[in-house]
Amino acid sequence: MAVFGFTTGILMLAGAPPMEAYGLLLKGSLGSGKKVGAVLTAWVPLTLCAVGLLYTFRIALWNIGVEGQMIMGAVFATAVLRWGVESRLPLFYLILAFPAAALGGGLWAMGAGLLKTKGGVHEIFAGLGLNFVAQGILLYLIFGPWKRPGVASMSGTAPFPPELWLSSVSGVRLSPEGVFLAAAALAVTVWMFRYSRLGLVFKAAGNNPTAVMLFGEKPGRYMILAMVLAGAFAGLAGGVQVAGVYHRLIPSISSNYGYLALLVVMLSNYRVALVPAVAFFFACLNVGGIQLPMVLKIDSSLAGVIQGAWVLAALAAVAWLRKEGRPEEAR
């Protein structure tokens, strides 16, 4: 309620009728099949990144580097797709782009993981640093070796021919493969956390690394594994952005979905079951937010303010609920 009051207040301050603004956000995100398609298009990378982050959060690591991992996924996917241009087997390269994307993200995450476990660098700093490096590599490639012929522009590489695009539902512009990937990622993760030994060890290592060590396991190795898994999922998200959304490599290929995914996971209280719903909500805000400037002539970043307010409120609520329930749920 407080959040609602707060966001309403902000909207009124901005001179927008709040009810209309909320209505626009909703209609602008779910008002038609196309809109839902656009929302799902944002939902896919957001969910993939968030699912990856569940692994690292489970082992108590802050994988801020998810953004860079997504970028490297996009870079690896682009590299493969570039080989596929004018080849006789475009489908082969299109499929290969995804393992490559996962590899790119995974390797990049492994870098942060090794820095953490071998070098003693906190994963937040390692991740942030690697984000900058990834961004640098991305810009270098776009402006340098992968530039369009005769052009030097930060607006991106030349688009791939349509045979190297993921398919899209006609009229909706949503690639079913992307949705399938995200759904599969969710399913695998649910299974891992519920039934696999690995999921259990992640949790144990996150809660008490020393205890895990006493049981003869090496927490460092599991940390790296969790990082690699997170990076692979983020890399896939990058691959989807390249092959399914932009059909080329652009400087903001990650669309900040990595950072946004961190919020998704926090707002989901680190639970895999809530991740798709929260990611969907964020995707709605992202897509519907464009209505605010178009109709009400207010800045669309207000959608971001609403988003932020929800996250803060949810975190506060979680903290409060934990405090309330501390006696039986002490952690």
User: Rounded to the nearest 5 degrees, what angle is found at the Cα of 123, between the Cα atoms of 117 and 128?
Assistant: 140
What lies within 8 Å, CB to CB, of 221 at 6+ separation is 117
Instruction: Return the number of the residue (82 or 217) whose C-beta is nearest other proteins.
Output: 82
Q: CA 28 to CA 137: how far, in whole Å?
A: 35
Q: How far is the CB of 121 from other proteins (least distance, A)?
A: 22
190 or 317: CB nearest other proteins: 317
Closest separation in Å from C-beta 300 to other proteins? 7
> 130 and 65 in contact (C-beta within 8 Å)?
yes
| Cα-trace Rg, the chain | 21
- Determine phi and psi for 107, rounding to 5 degrees: -60, -40
Nearer to other proteins, 86 or 329 (CB): 329
198-210 core/surface letters (b: 16 or more CB in 10 A; e: else):
ebebbebbbeebe
Tokens linked to 262: 């961190």
In the complex with other proteins, the residue whose CB is nearer, 86 or 324, is 324
Is the CB of 25 or the CB of 228 nearer to other proteins?
25
CB of 20 to other proteins, least distance (A): 8
As given in the structure block, the two tokens for residue 280 are 């969907």
Q: What count of Cα atoms within 13 Å lies in the side-chain half-sphere of residue 94?
A: 19
Sorted by sequence, the CB contacts under 8 Å of residue 68 that are 6+ apart come out as 108, 127, 130, 131, 132, 133, 134, 135, 258
**24/229 with CB nearer other proteins:** 24
Q: Long-range pairs for 305-308 at CB < 8 Å and ≥24 separation?
A: 305/7, 305/10, 306/7, 306/10, 306/25, 307/263, 307/282
- CA–CA gap between residue 171 and residue 162 (Å, rounded): 16
Of residues 153 and 196, the one with the C-beta less far from other proteins? 153
Looking at the Cβ atoms of 174 and 205, the one nearer to other proteins is: 174
> Is residue 19 left, alpha or beta, with left meaning phi > 0 and alpha meaning psi from -120 to 50?
alpha
Given the rule CB under 8 A, which residues bind other proteins?
A: 4, 19-20, 22-28, 30-32, 34-35, 38, 42, 135, 139, 143-144, 147, 150-156, 159, 171, 173, 245-246, 248, 250-252, 254-257, 269, 274, 277, 281, 286-287, 290-291, 293-295, 300, 314, 317-318, 321-322, 324-325, 329
**What whole-number distance in Å separates Cα of residue 263 and Cα of residue 23?**
24
DSSP classification of residue 167: P
| C-beta of 176 vs 251, nearer to other proteins | 251
